[in-house]
């Protein structure tokens, strides 16, 4: 699965040790799907960038570790 290999690569960099790739991807996708399905706001590069910032901040804070 391509998405899990991306999460695995990020984790392998040692920057997000302990981060579960699936949790990282859920956190990345959540703001995008919220705009798409709930608020019907446009989705663009800024939305994707903001979603990535949110996911990385959560990973760095240690909240995306396996349960």
For the chain, give every domain's residue range: 2-61
21: nearest Cα among 65, 62, 52, 58: 65
Show pLDDT as tens, one digit a residue, over the chain (67 residues).
Answer: 445 555 555 555 456 767 888 888 899 999 999 999 999 999 999 998 899 889 888 988 888 887 6
pLDDT at 33: 95
**Residues 24, 53: Cα–Cα separation, whole Å:** 11
């Amino acid at each position: 699965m391509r998405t899990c290999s991306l999460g695995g690569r990020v984790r392998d960099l040692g920057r997000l040790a302990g981060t579960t790739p699936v949790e990282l991807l859920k956190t990345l996708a959540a703001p995008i799907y919220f705009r798409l399905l709930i608020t019907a706001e446009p989705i663009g590069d800024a939305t994707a960038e903001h979603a990535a910032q949110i996911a990385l901040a959560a990973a760095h804070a240690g909240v995306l570790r396996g349960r």
